Chains A and B, each alone.
Chain A
Amino acid sequence: MTRITGGLIDRSQTLNFTFDGKRYAGHPGDTLASALLANGVRLMGRSFKYHRPRGVVAAGSEEPNALVTVGSGARATPNTRATVVELFDGLQATSQNRWPSLAVDALGVNDLLSPFFAAGFYYKTFMWPKSFWEKLYEPIIRRAAGLGKLPMQADPDAYDKGYLHCDLLVIGGGAAGLAAALTAARAGAQVVLADEDFRLGGRLLAESHALDDAPPTDWLAGVTAELRSLPNLRILTRTTVFGAYDHGIYGAVEHVSDHLAEPGGRVRQTLWRITAKRSLLAAGAIERHIPFANNDRPGVMLAGAMRAYANRWAVTPQARDGDRVAIFANNDDGHRTALDLMARGVPIFGVIDPREDAPRLGECQLFAGGQVTGTQGRLGLSSIRIAHQGRNDWYECAALGVSGGWNPNLHLAAHHRGRPVWDDALQAFVPGPDGPPGLCAIGAAAGQGTTAAALASGAKGAQDALRDLGIAASLPDLPVAEDHSAPPAPIWHVPGPGRAWVDFQNDVTVKDIALAHRENMRSVEHMKRWTTLGMATDQGKTANVTALAVMAELTGQSIPQTGTTVFRPPYTPVAISALSGGDPGTHFKPTRLTPTHHWAAERGAVFIESGQWMRAQYYPRPGETHWRQSVDREAQAVRAGVGICDVTTLGKIDVQGGDAAAFLDRLYANTMSTLKVGRVRYGLMLREDGFVYDDGTCARLAQDHFVVTTTTANAGLVYRNMEFARQGLWPDLDVQIISTTDAWAQIAVAGPKSRALLERVVDDADLSNEAFPFMACDTLTVCGGLRARLFRISFSGELAYELAVPARYGAALMDRLMAKGADLGVVPYGLEALNVLRIEKGHCTAAEVNGQTTAQMLGLGRMVSQKKDALGVVLSRREGLVGERRALVGLMPADPATPLVGGAHLFTAGAAQKTETDQGWITSVCYSPHLNSHIGLGFLENGADRLGEEITAANPLAGTDVTVRVVSPHFLDPEGGRLRD
């Protein structure tokens, strides 16, 4: 055990957990990393590429090495940083990327082969043969160089999404963030304070400095209590703000129950979308290391992390008490770790500081002007080599803290392509001025890293941000705090033989960067892709700036000239489950149900998606074993007797007003103003570019009142276009529109016996051909006084009607029609039969009106009125469209039993099949039980003049050609007698 006294852990409780199956114990307040260290476990993972043994490097979310899988079964979460896993009783963690075990990893052989695996190795080696990449190379590489594995089971937990709106978002709850939140909340502003840790305080929790001569936890307790009492401030702990998006919107993930053994019904994580008028980035700073040969052994860690483990978690980094610890630092802050550890009784071997004038800050050996040049220890550090005053000697050392200075944690401030700015005095990048609008950095994130500066800049930052919003805030009394600022010496790596790791997670060394440079990868973005530095789950948080400095050295440029790579969300990995939110499965995408959906379901209907809608596709009967049997029967029943079908999904738009008719004349290519009250007209709408947009019917219920119907797919789009036209194009017209699609259940009643059936449900209405002819409409009552609308329109080509009643009566009306029509042989029919009927009749649907076809192609050219203008009409007369020679035709296979394929391309018989000779395509196909043949509709070059010709329908995907005969698209009743009688 290396647990020492003190720390912010609750020793009154013991939490049991396992790592790779072995049992350990820790305390509330521990992270998995601190608890493992407390149990003497230093080896926590294997590196990505070379499978090098690795231990924890950091104490926060920047950790590159200690990636473990937490949980088991479906809850197993790979690539979790042990440094941010809050310990709980029963936690199970397993190491990754090793076989058979962490201590004995067969793929460690990769490390011996490292000369072959240099940067760019994959790009050079696996170039050919090309076909090998997907099936051979990639699977092998993925297996050898992997991180954790997904459980491949559905996530069992609940997630949710939420939205917060505030005046000020404070990102980070350390000294600066707390001072800012306090200032803003006291001023009455709406404030959200988010911190990724489970405890507020940030770096204050890790330092031993006094605030007002008291431990920092005293001040923290007072501030936290006050903040929690303020109703205008919302504290989100365990919450990572991972991205800055447009308009002051920030994405954040709150880990609600990740720290519990069982969520117990709680959501596991909440995805917050926070809209903030102003925001302050108080994300602190990340310490950088100094690459030297073999600097990646377990036991080598950042000095600040070492200090945090000692002060906050009462853990020292050696495996055994009494082992010696050393510090390698190019700045005064690194020395603090030695001082804090000594104060806690940890034996400090010495401080190695490359600065010749390094100050002696404590009573331990100082190697001023010295450097660490190597390490030893198979699975953990046992000795270090120190170059000092001309000697290069090995010294026993169980743990080494490294500090190369601190990088402001400016990730979020560099979203929106914000470019960090180099601060020569600080020897670090600080947030630039062109980051997300409304966001300012404070505290260490802005280079104000001393505790006193962080507190002051936080309070001032909040005051300034609120002033922008017109909210006056006064500065709080802040505690007296340490204020020793000492920038690091510009020492970025220790030159010499051996591999010196820059990016631990991606196994990128100084040599790799040099190789990239030799390969002419001299742009920093190229270097990143070539070496993979800064990629993967940690995004190079501990590596990037050091790599830039190494690259600058190689190129002879300054660090700012070298530049930085682009920062993008997310700051830390975000689970897909969190992004998907609380409605997984069926309702992830909303569906719409027709008023007769449950009625149809009770009758065994098979449903099919149609846009957002679920529509009855067909109604199988006992004994029917193939869908075609059901569909053939339904289609035949309609043509022989009567069928009913829910067509509610077709869009219905109520158009009223003194100028309603004029408005519709401008929307439809044909004329609607001449339509008589009580009549319906088929209408065609064009796109602005002249192609056909949508078709449907327009019924005139009164002089100033129309009901427009649209196709199911275009209901929303047509409504949107109409609203745009009403508000934007012709605001002078007196027109009011509103959708009524859902309000009315609309049932098609089709077939020669449809009139007989309807006469049994309407109240006192004359439905005779004379009184209610084809294309008539009326408002009336049915079934004893229920208000209804009746339209005599036909998609099937039969005598047919559509009857609309308030939606809540839709199912009951279906029942009534079935009961009243039993002796007429009435059947419900689905979308599939409806399609058969309309193809037989040559009626168009979305397959023909696909945005690429003209009225002329559809055989509806004469509907485009020459007497008036309407949307799209002028462009429909342009040369390219007028010259279009393809026209809608019917197609029948030479062998009636040969199915046609929608999308097949049409060619003159015997012609070569290539783009230049392509003569059209098949749009719709079905089997016609009335013609006892497969049939299709399609567009064919000069189609109207080629009736009777045999051509080829080619399906190059399946390599099949079908000989088809060109016929009229109106397979049945081309004169239309059936629908008019």
Chain B
Amino acid sequence: MTDLIPTTAFGTTTARTATHGALSMAEDVTTALASVALRRGADVPVPLGLPLPGPGGWAGADGAMAVCMGPDQWLILGADGAGGDFAADIAAAAPDCSVTEQTDGWVILDIRSKDDADGAPMAELLTRLVNLDPATLAPGRATRSQTGHLGIIALRLAPDRLLLLGLRSAAESLWQHLDGTLRRLAVPR
């Protein structure tokens, strides 16, 4: 076990959080990421027991999730796996695939809405973030998109929960964009 102390995407040792009104946002520093791409003629694997979803979807649960990233390509999210060699674990579970470590390629931001039975604050947030028909990011859906001139991967985990993955190097710009958006939405019109 290395004695080097990791830093977050924001250069600190503790995860960054913010709350504005009904919406809150927290950096997820423990989830590991690995890309799985199917090689020619290979069977679709079931890594960590995950059924790999089709376009526009994600599958799994809080422990492990898979997002469709393109033809024959998925991103696997493993809760609490960031400390280990998650890509190696996935490679072992998907032997006929090209597996690439992605954990530190992304900053993961977990956005939640409280007191939100009907998902209204989250729906309003989505109108400010992404140029998508709301159905594209209905609960259970996931997609690539862009916000604030930055590419993102968005997973609508629940009516009141949205997971955003952005370039780790652009974490500060992404945060400023999201934080400003949440802050502005928190002021009643």
Known: A163-B132, A165-B132. A583 touches B180 (CB 8 A): yes
Q: Please report the C-alpha to C-alpha distance between residue A448 and residue B103 in the assembled complex, in whole angstroms.
A: 61
Interchain CB contact under 8 A, B134 and A165 = yes
Q: Please report the C-alpha to C-alpha distance between residue A734 and residue B96 in the assembled complex, in whole angstroms.
A: 12
User: Which residue of chain B is the closest to A707 with respect to CB atoms?
Assistant: B100
Interchain CB contact under 8 A, B187 and A812 = no
Q: Please report the C-alpha to C-alpha distance between residue A658 and residue B134 in the assembled complex, in whole angstroms.
A: 40
Interchain CB contact under 8 A, B184 and A160 = yes
Interchain CB contact under 8 A, B5 and A736 = no
Cβ of A146 < 8 Å from any Cβ of B? Answer: no
Q: Which residues of B contact A161 (CB under 8 A)?
A: 128
Q: Please report the C-alpha to C-alpha distance between residue A733 and residue B180 in the assembled complex, in whole angstroms.
A: 45
Q: Which residues of B contact A587 (CB under 8 A)?
A: 148, 172-173, 176-177
Interchain CB contact under 8 A, A656 and B100 = yes
Q: Which residues of A contact B62 (CB under 8 A)?
A: none
Q: Please report the C-alpha to C-alpha distance between residue A589 and residue B132 in the assembled complex, in whole angstroms.
A: 22
Cβ of B37 < 8 Å from any Cβ of A? Answer: yes
Interchain CB contact under 8 A, A812 and B6 = yes
Q: Which residues of A contact B6 (CB under 8 A)?
A: 806, 808-809, 812
Q: Which residues of A contact B16 (CB under 8 A)?
A: none
Q: Please report the C-alpha to C-alpha distance between residue A486 and residue B15 in the assembled complex, in whole angstroms.
A: 70
Q: Which residues of A contact B3 (CB under 8 A)?
A: 783-784
Cβ of B17 < 8 Å from any Cβ of A? Answer: no
B137–chain A nearest beta-carbon distance, Å = 11
Interface string of A593-607 (1 = CB under 8 A from B): 111011100000000
Interchain CB contact under 8 A, B5 and A812 = yes
Q: Which residues of A contact B114 (CB under 8 A)?
A: none
- Mark out the residues of chain B between 26 and 68 whose CB falls within 8 Å of any chain A CB in the assembled complex: 29, 35, 37-40
Cβ of B73 < 8 Å from any Cβ of A? Answer: yes
Known: A658-B39, A742-B167. A783 touches B100 (CB 8 A): no
B4–chain A nearest beta-carbon distance, Å = 4
Q: Please report the C-alpha to C-alpha distance between residue A913 and residue B182 in the assembled complex, in whole angstroms.
A: 60
Q: Please report the C-alpha to C-alpha distance between residue A248 and residue B54 in the assembled complex, in whole angstroms.
A: 28
A649–chain B nearest beta-carbon distance, Å = 8
Interchain CB contact under 8 A, B4 and A809 = yes
Interchain CB contact under 8 A, B181 and A582 = yes
Q: Please report the C-alpha to C-alpha distance between residue A597 and residue B11 in the assembled complex, in whole angstroms.
A: 8
Cβ of A613 < 8 Å from any Cβ of B? Answer: yes
Q: Please report the C-alpha to C-alpha distance between residue A734 and residue B72 in the assembled complex, in whole angstroms.
A: 12
B110–chain A nearest beta-carbon distance, Å = 17
Q: Which residues of B contact A594 (CB under 8 A)?
A: 169
- Mark out the residues of chain A between 794 and 825 whose CB falls within 8 Å of any chain B CB in the assembled complex: 805-813, 816
Partner of B149, one of A265, A589, A734, A783: A589
A408–chain B nearest beta-carbon distance, Å = 31
Cβ of A654 < 8 Å from any Cβ of B? Answer: yes
Q: Please report the C-alpha to C-alpha distance between residue A595 and residue B150 in the assembled complex, in whole angstroms.
A: 18
Interchain CB contact under 8 A, B11 and A590 = no
Cβ of A612 < 8 Å from any Cβ of B? Answer: yes
Interface size class of B (residues with CB under 8 A): 35 or more
Q: Which residues of B contact A656 (CB under 8 A)?
A: 37, 39, 98, 100
Interface string of B99-141 (1 = CB under 8 A from A): 0111111100000000000000000000110111110000000
Interchain CB contact under 8 A, A807 and B2 = no
Interchain CB contact under 8 A, A740 and B7 = no
A587–chain B nearest beta-carbon distance, Å = 4
Interchain CB contact under 8 A, A657 and B40 = yes
Q: Which residues of A contact B104 (CB under 8 A)?
A: 595, 742-745, 806-808
Q: Please report the C-alpha to C-alpha distance between residue A264 and residue B132 in the assembled complex, in whole angstroms.
A: 30
Interchain CB contact under 8 A, A739 and B105 = yes
Partner of A738, one of B9, B100, B127, B181: B100
Known: A594-B169, A811-B7, A813-B4. A742 touches B106 (CB 8 A): yes
Interchain CB contact under 8 A, A736 and B37 = yes
Q: Which residues of B contact A583 (CB under 8 A)?
A: 148, 176-177, 180
User: Which residue of chain B is the closest to A164 with respect to CB atoms?
Assistant: B127
Known: A582-B180, A736-B98. A593 touches B169 (CB 8 A): yes
Q: Please report the C-alpha to C-alpha distance between residue A378 and residue B103 in the assembled complex, in whole angstroms.
A: 76
A192–chain B nearest beta-carbon distance, Å = 11
Cβ of A785 < 8 Å from any Cβ of B? Answer: yes
Q: Which residues of A contact B130 (CB under 8 A)?
A: 163
Known: A163-B131, A590-B149. A740 touches B177 (CB 8 A): no
B169–chain A nearest beta-carbon distance, Å = 4
Interchain CB contact under 8 A, B174 and A590 = yes
Q: Please report the C-alpha to C-alpha distance between residue A594 and residue B127 in the assembled complex, in whole angstroms.
A: 31
Q: Please report the C-alpha to C-alpha distance between residue A147 and residue B101 in the assembled complex, in whole angstroms.
A: 59
Q: Please report the C-alpha to C-alpha distance between residue A158 and residue B101 in the assembled complex, in whole angstroms.
A: 39
Q: Which residues of A contact B98 (CB under 8 A)?
A: 654, 656-657, 705, 736
Cβ of A118 < 8 Å from any Cβ of B? Answer: no
Cβ of B144 < 8 Å from any Cβ of A? Answer: no
Q: Please report the C-alpha to C-alpha distance between residue A762 and residue B143 in the assembled complex, in whole angstroms.
A: 40
A277–chain B nearest beta-carbon distance, Å = 10
Known: A160-B184, A165-B133. A734 touches B4 (CB 8 A): no
User: Which residue of chain A is the closest to B85 with respect to CB atoms?
Assistant: A787
- Mark out the residues of chain A between 687 and 726 whose CB falls within 8 Å of any chain B CB in the assembled complex: 705
B104–chain A nearest beta-carbon distance, Å = 4
Interchain CB contact under 8 A, A162 and B127 = yes
Cβ of A267 < 8 Å from any Cβ of B? Answer: yes
Q: Please report the C-alpha to C-alpha distance between residue A656 and residue B189 in the assembled complex, in whole angstroms.
A: 52
User: Which residue of chain A is the closest to B101 with respect to CB atoms?
Assistant: A743
Q: Which residues of A contact B181 (CB under 8 A)?
A: 160, 582
User: Which residue of chain A is the closest to B180 with respect to CB atoms?
Assistant: A582
Interface string of B79-102 (1 = CB under 8 A from A): 000100100000000000010111
Cβ of A591 < 8 Å from any Cβ of B? Answer: yes
Q: Which residues of A contact B35 (CB under 8 A)?
A: 738
Q: Which residues of A contact B171 (CB under 8 A)?
A: 593
Q: Which residues of B contact A158 (CB under 8 A)?
A: 180, 184
Interchain CB contact under 8 A, A742 and B169 = yes
Q: Which residues of B contact A521 (CB under 8 A)?
A: none
Q: Please report the C-alpha to C-alpha distance between residue A197 and residue B82 in the assembled complex, in whole angstroms.
A: 53
Q: Please report the C-alpha to C-alpha distance between residue A742 and residue B150 in the assembled complex, in whole angstroms.
A: 14
Q: Which residues of B contact A165 (CB under 8 A)?
A: 132-134
User: Which residue of chain B is the closest to A587 with respect to CB atoms?
Assistant: B176
Q: Which residues of A contact B187 (CB under 8 A)?
A: 264-267
Cβ of A868 < 8 Å from any Cβ of B? Answer: no
Interchain CB contact under 8 A, A613 and B4 = no
A484–chain B nearest beta-carbon distance, Å = 40
B171–chain A nearest beta-carbon distance, Å = 8
Q: Which residues of A contact B11 (CB under 8 A)?
A: 593, 597-599, 811
Q: Please report the C-alpha to C-alpha distance between residue A779 and residue B39 in the assembled complex, in whole angstroms.
A: 23
User: Which residue of chain B is the closest to A592 with respect to CB atoms?
Assistant: B169
User: Which residue of chain B is the closest to A816 with respect to CB atoms?
Assistant: B4
Cβ of A481 < 8 Å from any Cβ of B? Answer: no
Partner of B148, one of A163, A264, A590, A781: A590
Q: Please report the C-alpha to C-alpha distance between residue A745 and residue B3 in the assembled complex, in whole angstroms.
A: 17
Cβ of A256 < 8 Å from any Cβ of B? Answer: yes
Interchain CB contact under 8 A, A273 and B131 = yes
- A161-B128, A593-B171 known; 14 new pairs, CB 8 Å cut-off, are A160-B181, A163-B132, A275-B133, A586-B176, A590-B174, A591-B170, A592-B173, A658-B40, A734-B39, A736-B38, A784-B1, A785-B1, A806-B104, A811-B11
**25 pairs of residues in contact across A and B, judged by CB atoms under 8 Å:** A158-B184, A160-B181, A165-B132, A264-B187, A266-B187, A583-B148, A583-B176, A590-B170, A590-B173, A592-B167, A593-B172, A594-B169, A595-B169, A656-B98, A657-B98, A736-B37, A736-B98, A742-B167, A743-B168, A785-B2, A806-B6, A806-B104, A808-B9, A808-B29, A809-B2
B residues contacting A by CB (< 8 A) are: 1-9, 11-12, 29, 35, 37-40, 73, 82, 85, 98, 100-106, 127-128, 130-134, 148-150, 167-174, 176-177, 180-181, 184, 187-189
Task: In the A-B complex, list the 9 residue pairs whose CB atoms are closest, starting with the nearest.
Answer: A598-B11, A656-B98, A736-B37, A807-B104, A743-B105, A734-B40, A590-B173, A592-B169, A786-B2
A residues contacting B by CB (< 8 A) are: 158, 160-165, 256, 264-267, 273, 275, 582-583, 586-587, 589-595, 597-599, 612-613, 648, 654, 656-659, 705, 734, 736, 738-745, 781-787, 805-813, 816
